[in-house]
Structure 1
């Protein structure tokens, strides 16, 4: 890529980015020099270059404020921002934006897959398959499914993922309730076309944080989709699971630490809830000694619900749209509120 003589204003990209997007970045911001160092660590970047960086597009390459005194904006490659607050970036005055919205399609499909598999008895099919036989005619009632239609879906954290879960669930005729703290309930983040619930019109009812347990009590499916913050850490605890019906199906696609894992294990073993689908855990990778591996009424996957072959392209779309807004002095999408932590 041809370098300009504007090396004093630099966009440093340490995330994976196709060459076509690099050209688009230079087109949007011709006054900047674009430096691409995929997956470089902080120490791999010279002090001279750090001093020129005004915009940083990265997963977790976070300089100290002293290293990058001219840093004004950090676009994260990830949808979550918790790693940024455990780094030197926490002391920086730079604006931080996330890739919120990038996971909406694939994680919502993962969530609906687990719900359909659970209520249509796929675990029981697999159990009998392993036996090498089917039950007799009378025992076939073991396979009697339940329908999603008419069930109450509780989306705890009505962000981009939760809104796409709600959109898909509405097509199945589910009643939707949600926890979302903005008074207008609109999605203020980056929105891909025809995805989610931008206006926040799908839920039949919104509930505030102080009615959390009340909402759990009326839920047939509970989906944890909150960001990890001090307020959400451990919010799904023994009291929360006791508040749920013993027929409730719990899905965690947020972060492992929003759930007290010991309390969840107890709730599953004691049938305080019917079952769970877990893609995230307190310790990752989940150690083989975890009791979760031996619990039959739980689906598990190794934190892969966010994987999609379209990830890089979608993140690039978010970054370049934010870059367009940055050079025009417009508000950026997915700006992190440092006090709220997301």
Structure 2
């Protein structure tokens, strides 16, 4: 069976050449950003590979699957294609390693006071001995408890690394059932839950928060998770806890977090995602002491293109064989 594949992404020519070699006979059409596929091509499209551009359902009467170039689906939820039975697959599983490394880097930076040290470096002046001991003495991660909100493929990889640092790991997910690690595309090295990870269902969120010296947020943005970490939840964290958000803006109440950072109740934060992106020039986060801010880069990796190719090839083969796609979205749960 010849499949018609349409891609609206700005991937290099070499990527498409490799795809054509690995899927012989593929009817391949590429359109860069700013250029929409013709009506004739859309009408016979089997698989649409896209990020944010989506046609109306009437334009793609023969569409059999959508492959997103994102792990999240919050930008697709509620569209006309969302309300169909056309399978939607995500890029989930590409980012466990870089995102887990980012989370550990953030914990180490915060524990060793690096945001403050960088600000002092800019002044070309170090504090005196007494102030240096009072403000720059690090905290050890050994024996600390990390609560991972959203214990999926990324959460498992964070758990593996945190365990190597001697941390106690609490994982929060929809149910407390331990996953078998076989249902999804996964480039992480933790294909199954670590035996030492304590897994909790979402209903026990407050119990996890009360024990978390470090809170890592990596849950998908859905109607259920929007605003799930508000002021009341932040108040449950132990004094001086760190917050690491590598999920999506809208899950953590930014105003509440800022207030508790300034009061000293929360000891530091690493934020890769925000309510408004890119971060506006007048945002208070640029100048907030004790905070690491980055421009939504936690999931970037040099292997992105080759791993994306592997996933697309596999899903094209599955589509041709009539098998379920890898990373197929569950519309009921919203991700």
Fold-level match, TM-score > 0.5? yes
In the alignment, is residue 222 of structure 1 matched against residue 215 of structure 2? yes
Q: Is the 8 A contact 1:64 1:92 kept in 2?
A: no
Query: What residue in structure 2 maps to residue 164 of structure 1?
Result: 157
Paired residue for 1:191?
186
Inter-CA distance 60–203: structure 2 relative to 1 (3 Å threshold): farther
Among candidates 113, 117, 129, match of residue 109 of structure 2 = 117
For 2:323 and 2:196, the matched residues in 1 are separated by 31
Residue 279 (structure 1) shift: 0.8
Give RMSD over aligned pairs. 2.1
In the alignment, is the contact (CA less than 8 A) between 1:165 and 1:196 conserved in 2?
no
Matches within 5 A, 1:262-273: 262-273=255-266
Give the corresponding residue for 1:155: 148
Tell me by how many angstroms 1:255 deviates. 0.4
Determine which of 77, 80, 85 is the counterpart of 1:88.
80
Deviation at 1:88, TM superposition (A): 3.0
Give the paired residue count: 332
CA contact (8 A) 1:65 1:88 kept: yes
Q: 2:330 & 2:209 partners in 1: Cα distance?
A: 27
1:259 corresponds in structure 2 to 252
Equivalents in 1 of 2:84, 2:256: separation in Å? 37
SS at match of 1:314: helix
Give the corresponding residue for 1:201: 194
- Does residue 337 of structure 1 match 2:321? no
Instruction: Say whether 1:13 aligns with 2:18.
Output: no
Match of 1:64 among 56, 62, 74: 56
Q: Does 2:300 correspond to 1:307?
A: yes
Please list the CA deviations of residues 4-24 of structure 1 after superposition, one character each: whole Å capped at 9, or x if unmatched. Answer: x95xx4111222444454345
One of 22, 37, 42 as aligned partner of 2:31 = 37
Matching residue of 1:292? 285
2:65 aligned partner = 73
Aligned partners of 1:102 and 1:305: how far apart in 2?
Answer: 12
What TM-score does the superposition give when structure 1 sets the normalisation length? 0.90
Deviation at 1:242, TM superposition (A): 0.4
Q: SS in structure 1 opposite 2:29?
A: strand
State yes or no: 1:50 paired with 2:45: no
Farther off after superposition, 296-305 or 244-253: 296-305
Residue 225 of structure 1 deviates from its aligned partner by: 0.2
Alpha-carbon offset, residue 30 of structure 1: 4.1
- Note the C-alpha offset of 1:241: 0.4
Do the aligned residues in 2 keep the contact of 1:97 with 1:335 (CA within 8 Å)? yes
Q: CA deviation at 1:73?
A: 0.4
1:325 matched to 2:314? The reply is no
Q: Could you say what secondary structure the match of 2:46 adopts?
A: strand
Distance 2:264 2:229 in 1: 16
Do the aligned partners of residues 101 and 155 (structure 1) sit closer, same or farther apart at CA in structure 2, a change above 3 Å counting?
same
**Equivalent in 16, 36, 40 of residue 22 of structure 1:** 16
Alpha-carbon contact 1:65-1:91 (below 8 Å) kept: no
SS where residue 235 of structure 1 aligns?
Answer: coil
1:232-243 mapped onto 2 (5 Å cutoff) = 232-243=225-236
1:281 to 2:274 alignment: yes
Paired with 2:85 and 2:162, the residues of 1 have a C-alpha distance of 40
For the 8 Å contact 2:6–2:29, the answer to whether it is kept is yes
Choose from 135, 138, 148 the match for 1:145. 138
Q: How does 1:120-131 map to 2 (within 5 A)?
A: 120-131=112-123
TM-score between the two structures when normalised by the length of structure 2: 0.92
The one-character-per-residue Cα deviations of 1:62-94 (angstroms, maximum 9, x if unpaired) are 111100010010011111111111433223321
Post-superposition shift, 1:120?
Answer: 1.4
Q: 1:57 to 1:203 in 2, by over 3 A?
A: farther
* Kept in 2: contact 1:166–1:202 (CA 8 A): no
